[in-house]
Amino acid sequence: MSYFIDRRLNGKNKSLVNRQRFMQRYKKHIKQAVSEAINKRSITDMDRGENISIPSQDTHEPIISHGQGGQQHRIYPGNKQFDAGDQIDKPKGGGGSGSGKAGNSGEGEDEFSFYISKEEFLNYIFEDLALPNMAKKSLSTQDEFETKHAGFVTEGTANNLSIVRSMRNAHARRIALSAGKKRKLKELLLEQEALESNPDGFQHQTRLLAIQEEISILRSRIKKVPYLDTFDLRYRSQVKYPVPSSKAVMFCLMDVSGSMTQDIKEIAKRFYILLYLFLQKNYDKIELVFIRHHTSAKEVSEEEFFYSRETGGTIVSSALKLMHEIVQDRYSASEWNIYAAQASDGDNWDDDSPQCSALLRQKILPEVQYFSYIEITPQDHQALWHAYKALETEWPNEFAMAQIKEPGDIYTVFRQLFAKQPSQHQGASHQGERA
């Protein structure tokens, strides 16, 4: 039998390919574990990796072996108890009786566990999800660049020629090529001057002629050194650096009336966290605006948004009006991708629900990328749901709504709102199919 030993040096990430192959093979188990983690984690733990466990029986490699079956005849020496044709009972014991006592026989295997990073965790969460209308604004699809100076290069265009740097290089080159010759020329000129002052003798005349010839040659060589050579030219190097151009603002609107319990607020917070993490993967710059409302609306901090005890009646239109004012003042629809998520138990003053629908239809939906309404209640749909129902048909690309009955529905609803459709792609137009 031959053995092959691979002694080639491995790179720093020598196991990266094997890890990717392993994760692809057990993708189903990993996605299931990630989905369970979404529902079990607290909100502050969303932005980290996860430990994944795979049952040991699922990690076994397939093998080919002889199966059980057929008839076998064996003769064992020293048998004094059994005759041909006797039936032998199987030995008792094992099989996981569950007595809870230690034993001296049997064996098993633990589940195989490994850790996936934060980036891998988020990739599995958002693998088959996509933000709708990603190409609605040119800022979200086109990269912007700014030009920065990056030193000097030997090739370039005439408008980038650096005269100072080129002349400096030419001067240095002339010194390097002619310094020795000029030194020699100076010595010969001094010797010539000495000989001319005392021209007696034939040898002096011969030496003087030789010096004059050598001086002529050196001067000719010095003159041949070019004042400026193409080798001296230096051009300013201009490098393009990408500038974050895709900007998004995420409006979080939440009802804090007396009917909104802390459990409902926690469910809403988890949905907002999912949306924020998703936006982080698609935009370079994201700003958050928190608006809470009862009979009146107010822009607040994140801490006050979720944990303030201020409460009251319910007039949803106050939050929509405030959102529209903030958009007009700070977030131009031509420069920002605007997203909004409204969380409520659906309860609203009856006369106010039609006004909410009109505000969305006339002022908000024409300017936003996406507006999602989340009704958090285990009961039947409330007044606000019925008022918004017509908007799904009128604005299929910009508006969607869903109901969350319990914390376990958060991830399912989120995927429902942002699931990819076969017709969607990054270059989809404003009139494309809603994802």
Residue 117, pLDDT score:
79
pLDDT of 216 higher than 60: yes
Confidence label for 110 from pLDDT (cuts 50, 70 and 90): low
- Lowest pLDDT segment from 17-21, 24-28, 250-254, 402-406: 17-21
pLDDT for 292-332, tens place per residue?
Answer: 888 788 898 888 887 777 766 778 888 999 999 999 999 98
- For the segment 173-182, the average pLDDT, to the nearest whole number, is 87
Q: Is the pLDDT of residue 175 over 70?
A: yes
Q: What is the mean pLDDT of residues 194-216?
A: 78
Q: What is the pLDDT of residue 140?
A: 37
pLDDT interval class at 434 (50, 70, 90): very low
Residue 327 has a pLDDT of 92
Q: What pLDDT score was predicted for residue 46?
A: 62
Q: pLDDT band at 2, cuts 50/70/90?
A: low
Q: Write out the two tokens for 206.
A: 């011969």
Confidence bin at 282 (pLDDT 50/70/90): confident
Residue 321 has what pLDDT? 92
Highest mean pLDDT among 3-7, 326-330, 406-410: 326-330
Q: What is the pLDDT of residues 218-251, one digit of tens each?
A: 888 888 888 888 888 888 888 877 655 578 888 9
Residue, of 371 and 77, whose pLDDT is higher: 371
pLDDT band at 424 (very low <50, low <70, confident <90, very high): very low
pLDDT of residue 323: 93
What do you get for the CA distance between the two ends of the chain, in Å? 58
Over residues 83-88, mean pLDDT? 75
- pLDDT grade, residue 8 (50/70/90)? low
Q: Give the pLDDT confidence score for residue 139 in this predicted structure.
A: 32
Six-digit token string for 59: 């990690």
pLDDT at 10 over 90: no
Least confident of 45-59, 100-114, 290-304: 100-114
| Residue 259 pLDDT exceeds 90 | no
Q: What's phi and psi for 118, nearest 5 deg?
A: -60, -45
- Is the pLDDT assigned to residue 185 strictly greater than 80? yes
pLDDT score, position 432: 34
